[in-house]
Amino acid sequence: MNDKLDRLKDIKIENYIWVIYIVIIFFSWIANSKEKDYIITNNSKSKQDYQSIMILIFSILIIVYLYFTLDSYEDVKKLNIYDSPKKVILTNASLTGSTLILISGIIFLLIAIFDDNIDTELAFN
């Protein structure tokens, strides 16, 4: 019963994260518009706005990625000797994947902060 309540709590948090992703999509659309304006008009204000929005996006994503990494870590800590080898492998793989995505988010944030020429294409999951 406790496992079901924990899973329902996780689903509730994940629903909030979906809303955050929708907001990020909206900000990404605005960022693309600013980048396009900068490329066409060489407007330095659009360039600055684009960079600020990208920094905001990746800062938010790092928080989301951190949540998933910590959640995966908690799942690994809950493993016991009675769990199947498949569950152990997949739980550890989930932690590894979450950690790598967190690292990629940090790298993209650093690129957004330090790439003054905005010539590096940024992508996220």
Mean pLDDT across the chain = 91
pTM of the model: 0.85
- Identity of the amino acid at 115: D
For 75-117, what is each residue's pLDDT tens digit? Answer: 999 999 999 999 999 999 999 999 999 999 999 999 999 988 7
For 31-52, what is each residue's pLDDT tens digit? Answer: 999 999 999 999 999 999 999 9
Asked if residues 112 and 51 have their Cβ atoms less than 8 Å apart, the reply is: yes
Give the pLDDT of residue 116: 81
Q: What is the mean pLDDT of the segment spanning 64-83?
A: 95
- 23, 48, 77, 89 from 94: Cα distances, Å: 25, 36, 13, 9
| Residue given tokens 């989930």 in the structure block | 94
pLDDT of 122 above 80: no
Asked if residues 111 and 59 have their Cβ atoms less than 8 Å apart, the reply is: no
Nearest 5°: CA angle at 53, between 51 and 55?
70
Give the pLDDT of residue 125: 46
Give the pLDDT of residue 124: 56
Give the pLDDT of residue 63: 96
Q: 102 is written with which tokens?
A: 């967190």
Query: What's the distance, Cα to Cα, between the start and end of the chain in Å?
Result: 33
Residue 36 CA, chain-centre distance (Å), reads: 24
